[in-house]
Amino acid sequence: MSRPEPKSEKPAPARAMEVRPVIEARDIEKSFPGVHALRKVSFDLLPGEVHALMGENGAGKSTLMKILTGVYQPDGGEILVDGKPVTIPNPRAAQDLGISIIHQELNLMNHLTAAQNIFIGREPRKRFRWLVDNDKANADAQAVFDRMKVDIDPAAEVGDMTVARQQLVEIAKALSFNSKVLVMDEPTSALNEKEVEHLFGVIADLKRHGVGIVYITHKMDEVKRIADRITVMRDGQYIATLPAEGTSMAKIISLMVGRELTDATREDAANHGEEVLRVEGLNRGKHIRNVSFSLKQGEILGFAGLMGAGRTEVARAIFGADPIESGEIWVHGKKRKIKTPTDAVRLGLAYLSEDRKRFGIVTRMSVRDNITLPSWSRYLGARLWMKDKALNKDASSYVATLKVKTPHVHQETRLLSGGNQQKVVIAKWLLRDCDILFFDEPTRGIDVGAKAEIYKLLQSLAAQGKAIVVISSELPEVLRLSHRVVVMCEGRITGELDGKTATQEAIMHLATERQVKAA
């Protein structure tokens, strides 16, 4: 049943009318093959404000921002900068107009230094123009880092940095243009709490200097902390613009999803079956130190801890993606040697990586081919021809079950929103029918509506007897899903909590236990 057409209202500025928007979009239209992405969408940004843009994956947020930053060209409507109509044919033209964007997926060159990434294409030159002045580039990059109050060596190669520090380099790159409009698309997705506080300090400083910031996030607490106004989009259409102060999150969520969200009831732990996975004494350098745990049929086991605690490393080692130094793994009561992911899949294990674009999907393959990739052997017919009808049927079935927003199963996966790409990764492991599933940050970059659907899906899988490990940096997510919670710190398991009685405070105490002892 189709949703009713949302009532569209023109954005209402939160400030006095004499304050002119630094950028304004009016009645923007954009279509792709099979998808009407934007329908007469309007949006404005005032100088010195943080304007949160919210909506489910596929709502059109990123498409609108790509139009404002010259990545896409609109099919209709107009864009105004400082009250004057402009055409933005490419990203460089946007930067020349003072408009920069920090994409959710990092856009850095790992073999170059931080300074080289920041000034690529506009490197400072020496007296002889063909010589790059690396000393000046490093000094200019250091000035940006000093402004951000972050300690990053401009001469360090980006490929040697953590994802969090790479994110900060991406932010520094955008700030180096002295932008008056800065679009931040999920900028804190890979940052820890201290780094988030640094970023919010930078944002506060930018506001004081009159920079307008479009802030795209699914984290409600961040919106309440830093946003001045909130604009909601749904299904490619503008829904409403509201002041952040005094607007409840329940109201925002209702506008975003256009429906009531309900929680699935968590099954009692007493219904769990036999042990399907046991890990004892797992070690791998400083990242995994004597890790032992068990997992039962029909159970959701949560893994919590701060960034760098070793949760992902444990999952990758069990799955055979990284070699282990010592330790034993039992699958269904039998001791197993898992040296490669292929070994793990044959034993019925699946791993949904936190980095879906690097390890989860092949972006230029179709939705169908990504979903069926681990199961291709079952579709081989005579003379090694693929059974197209069976491939289409099975892929279409999971697209429908997981509500993947795509015009058809032959669409390239790279054209889907981040949340829908995540659903494709989940679909491929469900089709493979693995019975032990590791979900590493399963809802990262996914909106509240899609999160609710994935939560129900995980609980449904557990009710069917699947054994599930959920690794998440979001404590409410861990507490909502888990029957038991294992907490890690500095490569070690520091405690285990019952899901019904666990609290965020108890988890954080265990997550910092090693650090407290070392202090």
pTM of the model: 0.59
Whether residue 64 is found in the same domain as residue 177: yes
Question: Is 142 among the domain residues?
Answer: yes
**242: domain CATH number?**
3.40.50.300
Whether residue 91 is found in the same domain as residue 153: yes
> For residue 262, what are its two tokens?
């309900």
Of 244 and 309, the one with more pLDDT? 244
Q: What pLDDT is recorded for position 271?
A: 63
Q: Kindly report which listed range (208-217, 248-257, 424-433) carries the lowest average pLDDT score.
A: 248-257
- Domain span holding position 481: 269-348+434-518
CB 206 within 8 A of CB 186: no
What are the tens digits of pLDDT across the range 18-76?
Answer: 689 999 999 999 998 777 889 999 999 999 999 999 887 678 888 999 999 999 999 99
Paired with 52 in beta bridges are: 215, 230
173 phi and psi angles, rounded to 5 deg:
-60, -45
Whether residue 280 is found in the same domain as residue 330: yes
The Cα 519–Cα 514 span in angstroms is 9
Q: What pLDDT is recorded for position 245?
A: 92
The Cα 289–Cα 493 span in angstroms is 8
CB 403 within 8 A of CB 440: no
What are the tens digits of pLDDT across the range 167-186?
Answer: 788 888 888 887 899 999 88
Q: What pLDDT is recorded for position 8?
A: 47
Q: How confident is the model at residue 251 (pLDDT cuts 50, 70, 90)?
A: confident
Of 282 and 18, the one with more pLDDT? 282
Whether residue 173 is found in the same domain as residue 230: yes
Domain count, the chain: 2
Whether residue 51 is found in the same domain as residue 155: yes
DSSP 104-161: SS----TTSBHHHHHTTTS--B-SSTTSB-HHHHHHHHHHHHHHHT----TTSBGGGS
Q: Which uninterrupted H or E stretch holds 508?
A: helix 504-511
Amino acid at 112: L
The Cα 23–Cα 93 span in angstroms is 14
Of the candidates 226, 257, 288, which is a domain's last residue? 257
What are the tens digits of pLDDT across the range 472-511?
Answer: 887 888 999 999 999 998 899 999 999 988 888 888 788 8
Q: In this structure, what DSSP letter does residue 43 have?
A: E
